[in-house]
């Protein structure tokens, strides 16, 4: 063995033996030691809410406690976001201005759901309601002439329209991190496509779907299994963001637009909204193929020893014992 390599190994061995942990060790608290109470007392803010239908002597009278299980979290979850987004899409199809300028994902990320259009006399307005603080706002979509203007102006208006203390939607939903396609949430699409293909095994797509057979052929072995066999047409629809409602209708999981499967024969067909996660239908395929083509990082022995020595000599301010 090379003498220089032996010297470097000896120096690393000595560094490991002489390594001292700075600071004090802290054992994390066990969950079993935490006392969990189902109920807690309400704050004065919630108890002092007045009811106009009751006489004065019955004002501020109510339960002094609330169930902890029913207290909402301080962040808007993915399930709440998609539920609001779906209601917005379904109840705004009569408004032509929505398709041209409004980004419904921005509205849903701010915590607003749509009230059915039959309750609105003027079709130019989109009536929104927060399902938690029950605030109602009328948004005139025609005031925002472009998608960029809508995102800049309407987003701040919607965030400030909630009542004080609306913790459920105070922080909103991070669209860039959780909604739009990126390397951080690519694993969710792998799971979605796998579940979609296994769920629709019994459905047969008879119509021809335009697809790139070469690229899809490389991705097919990833999702195919002994109990899950599918055609390239099904895989193409799933990679474009669609789920099959039945053998002839598909629905986008990003913008909830529906289309007949036979329309996908057209190469130029675009069924997604302008703001949809899957607007660029080739992006998801490219991201998945790039993960397959990426070669593992290989380092020589010298570089690995340098990285090890650097890791051992790196200062640490706080170390926890799991």
Find residue 243's DSSP bridge partners.
251
Residue 134: its H or E element: none
- Say how far apart CA 218 and CA 209 lie, in whole Å: 18
Instruction: Please report the pLDDT score of residue 101 as a whole number.
Output: 66
Widest Cα–Cα separation across the chain: 93
Kindly state whether residue 43 falls inside one of the protein's structural domains: no
Asked if 242 and 250 count as a contact pair (C-beta separation under 8 A), the reply is yes
Query: Do 211 and 283 fall within a single domain?
Result: yes
Instruction: Please report the pLDDT score of residue 228 as a whole number.
Output: 81
Instruction: Please report the pLDDT score of residue 257 as a whole number.
Output: 92
Q: Which domain holds residue 267?
A: 183-293
Query: Do 211 and 256 fall within a single domain?
Result: yes
Is pLDDT of 278 > 90?
yes
Kindly state whether residue 315 falls inside one of the protein's structural domains: no
Q: What residues contact residue 58 under an 8 Å CB cut-off, 6+ apart?
A: 51
> Domain tally for the chain?
2
Three-state SS at 251: strand
Query: Do 271 and 226 fall within a single domain?
Result: yes
Apex 49 CA angle, 48 and 53, nearest 5? 125
Q: Considering only 46-55, 85-94, 234-243, which range has the smallest mean pLDDT?
A: 46-55
Is pLDDT of 246 > 80?
yes
Report the relative pairing of strands 249-252 and 242-244 from DSSP bridges.
antiparallel
Q: Considering only 6-15, 29-38, 44-53, 207-216, which range has the smallest mean pLDDT?
A: 29-38
Find residue 137's DSSP bridge partners.
128
Kindly state whether residue 29 falls inside one of the protein's structural domains: no
Question: Residue 132 has which token pair?
Answer: 């938690």
Kindly state whether residue 322 falls inside one of the protein's structural domains: no
Query: Do 102 and 200 fall within a single domain?
Result: no
Query: Do 191 and 289 fall within a single domain?
Result: yes
Query: Do 285 and 238 fall within a single domain?
Result: yes
Q: Considering only 162-171, 281-290, 310-319, which range has the smallest mean pLDDT?
A: 310-319
Find residue 140's DSSP bridge partners.
125
Instruction: Please report the pLDDT score of residue 167 as a whole number.
Output: 62
The residue ranking higher by pLDDT, 162 or 254, is 254
Asked if 127 and 120 count as a contact pair (C-beta separation under 8 A), the reply is yes
Lay out the sheet containing 125-129: strands in order across.
Answer: 113-114, 125-129, 136-140
Query: Do 98 and 156 fall within a single domain?
Result: yes
The residue ranking higher by pLDDT, 48 or 135, is 135
Kindly state whether residue 269 falls inside one of the protein's structural domains: yes
Query: Do 165 and 197 fall within a single domain?
Result: no
Is pLDDT of 28 > 80?
no
Kindly state whether residue 42 falls inside one of the protein's structural domains: no
- Say how far apart CA 289 and CA 221 lie, in whole Å: 12
Find residue 259's DSSP bridge partners.
250
Query: Do 188 and 171 fall within a single domain?
Result: no
| Local confidence band at 13 (pLDDT 50, 70, 90 cut-offs) | confident
Instruction: Please report the pLDDT score of residue 25 as a whole number.
Output: 59
How many whole angstroms from its chain centre is CA 290?
22
Q: What residues contact residue 274 under an 8 Å CB cut-off, 6+ apart?
A: 99, 103, 147
Q: Considering only 46-55, 118-127, 250-259, 283-292, which range has the smallest mean pLDDT?
A: 118-127
Q: Report pTM.
A: 0.65
Query: Do 108 and 156 fall within a single domain?
Result: yes
Query: Do 202 and 263 fall within a single domain?
Result: yes
């Amino acid at each position: 063995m090379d003498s220089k390599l032996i010297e470097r190994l000896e120096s690393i061995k000595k560094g490991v033996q002489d390594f001292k942990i700075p600071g004090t060790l802290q054992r994390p608290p066990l969950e079993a030691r935490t006392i969990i109470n189902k109920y807690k007392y309400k704050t004065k803010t919630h108890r002092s809410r007045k009811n106009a239908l009751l006489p004065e002597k019955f004002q501020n009278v109510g339960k002094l406690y609330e169930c902890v299980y029913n207290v909402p979290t301080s962040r808007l979850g993915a399930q709440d976001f998609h539920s609001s987004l779906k209601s917005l899409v379904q109840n705004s199809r009569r408004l032509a201005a929505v398709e041209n300028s409004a980004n419904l994902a921005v509205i849903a990320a701010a915590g607003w759901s749509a009230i059915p259009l039959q309750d609105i006399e003027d079709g130019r307005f989109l009536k929104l309601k927060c399902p938690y603080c029950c605030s109602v706002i009328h948004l005139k979509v025609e005031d925002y002439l472009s998608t960029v203007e809508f995102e800049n102006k309407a987003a701040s208006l919607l965030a400030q329209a909630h009542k004080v203390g609306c913790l459920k939607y105070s922080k909103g939903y991070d669209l860039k991190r959780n909604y739009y396609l990126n390397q951080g949430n690519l694993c969710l699409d792998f799971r979605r496509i796998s579940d979609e293909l296994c769920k629709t095994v019994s459905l047969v797509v008879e119509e021809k779907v335009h697809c790139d057979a070469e690229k899809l052929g490389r991705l097919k072995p990833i999702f195919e299994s002994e109990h899950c066999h599918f055609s390239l047409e099904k895989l193409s629809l799933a990679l474009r963001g669609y789920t099959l409602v039945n053998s002839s209708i598909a629905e986008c999981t990003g913008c909830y637009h529906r289309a007949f499967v036979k329309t996908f024969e057209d190469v130029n067909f675009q069924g997604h909204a302008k703001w949809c996660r899957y607007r660029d239908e080739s992006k998801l395929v490219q991201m998945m193929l790039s993960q397959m083509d990426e070669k593992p990082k290989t380092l020589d022995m010298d570089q690995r020893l340098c990285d090890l020595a650097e890791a051992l000599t790196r200062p640490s301010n706080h170390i926890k014992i799991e």
